[in-house]
Structure 1
Amino acid sequence: MAAAGAMEPAPSGAVATPSPASAPAPATSTLFRPISAEDEEQQPTEIESLCMNCYRNGMTRLLLTKIPFFREIIVSSFSCEHCGWSNTDIQSAGRIQEQGVRYTLTVKAQQDMNREVVKTDSATTRIPELDFEIPAFSQKGALTTVEGLISRAVSGLEQDQPIRRVKEEAMAGRIDEFIVKLKELKQVSSPFTLIIDDPSGNSFVENPYAPQKDDALVITHYNRTLQQEEMLGLQTEAPGEKADEEDLRNEVLQFNTNCPECNAPAQTNMKLVQIPHFKEVIIMATNCENCGHRTNEVKSGGAVELLGTRITFHITDPSDMTRDLLKSETCSIEIPELEFELGMAVLGGKFTTLEGLLKDIRDLVTKNPFTLGDSFSPDQAQKLQEFSQKLDQILEGSMKVHFIMDDPAGNSYLQNVYAPEDDPEMKVEHYKRTFDQNEELGLNDMKTEGYETGLSPQQ
């Protein structure tokens, strides 16, 4: 694999100096030259740069190399001849891999301490036996060995120990004890586990037996989580597509229609709503600006369920009136204590509260034109008045009754305020529909499979 343009123009104040071992460049050569990690005679590129310790000029050496059975990396090394400060770093010469990688090495012998390790900035290092972890992006990438990785961790802990001994002596003592345990790991007196987890997939632990399998080393490739994608600065397409879908579902659709009362042009709003612990429903509302007529209707957003649903709810408290309720067009209502039953399709589909549905039932019964006028007998008027009074008592919470919703299509719903736990006052039963119920829903003549067969060709 050849990499062109691996060397960038030097910043102001920095001078690019070719390696003494390299051949003099032709007069027509440019600053950018093709290099290859496969070139064994390739010499490091030297760049004069600023020391971060004494701020004097030092020398940075860059080398593109390839690790066997792994991939290409760029090794950079800086040294300052004035103060002696030095630093090494590595960068992957390739892109972030499609999957993350996790190396689990069981260190059993002293030879395992000499295994080469590539640890990138995004890698997390753990030693479970000591409950020790080096978080991602807390250290720069390094090309080292297992022993060097532990020594680097020891150096990092020892760095601030003099200050800790002055300010926090107890903590400094605990860190000293932990440093001793880390140093003991180098002797490999007992096996321990080293885990390097890199979401970028660019870290590496040497297998000295390659291409044969190494029983002490387990390599696991995995799909990155959304948090790991964000940590690496990657943008995934899935969240964006999901956001567009959610925006569409939150949108209120509008279409033109005519008012059912005055036939004037009106507008109907339609929205898809997800009812918690139930399903999606479509709510449609029409408001006529000409006559003021308002109507709303609800339709199930799903198919007819395999089983019918019967919901029996015991109204015991005034707060029950605030429960959300979805009554589909195929749902019938029954209140045994009042000997009342409301057939399916009456009142249509509604998404309201229990109080709202009971008020609609009261208005339907008391304001029915066939229950008014001179032809209406006094006995019927008395019964109707008693029924209305009992409904008022239910709405006030002074009368306890059972409220039953029976929907053969299984598309009705009554809110369970204890969800996801069971409601002690609510019983939900699922039953198999009878032939007559399927006939009423039009399911007996509905053919969804093999409907192409038996069709006579049109003449």
Structure 2
Amino acid sequence: MSVISEENARGGDHSVFKDISADDENQQPTEIESLCMNCHQNGTTRLLLTRIPFFKEIIVSSFSCPACSWSNTEIQSAGQIQEQGICYTLRIRTKQDLNREVVKADSATTRIPELDFEIPPFTQKGSLSTVEGLLDRAVSGLEQEQPARRAAEPELAHKIEQFILKLKKLKDVEQEFTLVIEDPSGNSFVENPSAPHRDEALTVTRFNRTAQQDGQLGIRADDDDLDEEPAGNDVETMKSEVLVFNTNCPECSAPASTNMKLVDIPHFKEVIIMATNCDSCGHRTNEVKSGGATEALGTRITLHVTDPSDMTRDLLKSETCCVLIPELEFELGMGALGGKFTTLEGLLKDIKDLIVVKNPFICGDSSTEDRLQKLTQFGEKIDQIVAGEMKIHVILDDPAGNSYLQNVYAPEEDPEMTVEKYTRTFEQNEDLGLNDMKTEGYQEEKRWCRVDTD
């Protein structure tokens, strides 16, 4: 059995994850002698660790048995688990929606509520397919054991046959139905064909994993003490020191260090800034999280960009903040880009990189001329805004009230900026996890009990 060194898997030029290329003659798979699960003779498993450009690292495995000619091919993700889980809710209205590309990780749960149908996590391997492909795969899985069921349990086989017909009928889209993909690892994806504009048929929500989901993903031991207080929680110490802790680079997985510092923003509040630098690949990231509690009211900040100097305004975007640009019909949802402490120009460039540069579905076989043209035009408009050639409105809508945009006239009011406080809706409180949170009335009632000693 071959063992791949963790140090080699992480270390810069010696990384076992090579960019996929048809011209690389040195990219050879690792061969391992394995047991065939069909005839129980020895076969060969070939492993290829590769990196798909603009996507992530994957492990391609292929098994073949010379004795019975049985073969099997699988693709597994080798990327990192995201900080939050993700849930896509897609309303299928037309046959065109069946062509949406879907990245389904093996940890994802797939549901069709109208049929009470669910594919539990870790029952299928990860796949890159379409909505129609997911339906075909579900049908194929149900049909696999039908001959044996007809012989042993005819009644059950008949019920499954009727259900298979319902699944096949969904592809005709005679009625609308809903597809839900919920992935605690955060590595699944459903295409938005209207990108960079908002998709009315697709709802994307991010959520914090439960301890059980962490255990299923293998990132929390079953016997972890959930009530243990983390060390180094002294606020005064954090204000005066830069805390350093070890982590892995999100790009190459090499060992790296993350610096964390508690900072006071004038006319706002305390925030926690975290920065990671990788010496192996040069990747750099920074993230900002609010250091205070969730505000009683949400905040909506609207800035009318009229001058190139507006691009230099300091900006704090929390992970719960949505960014809207009405003139471009653009909306960046909650959780996208994470928390950032940057300038308005920096935020716009990050949006362009996310939508245009790092979008995995504008290159290769996934690219279409119409989609590429729309995204290219969107990138050109962002460049015009940064250059001061287009006047727009930028809206920061944060239901948690933890986002900030610099008022260059402070402490006077800014004539080009409005700050509105509003009461959150029930749905916004649900997204923030506040509906089930109780913060008062915890005093225990005194209870008396009688103990019989007879």
TM-score range, shorter chain: 0.3 to 0.5
Q: Which has the higher contact order (CA 8 A, sep 6+)?
A: 2
TM-score (norm 2): 0.45
Larger Rg: 1
TM-score of the superposition, structure 1-length normalised?
Answer: 0.44
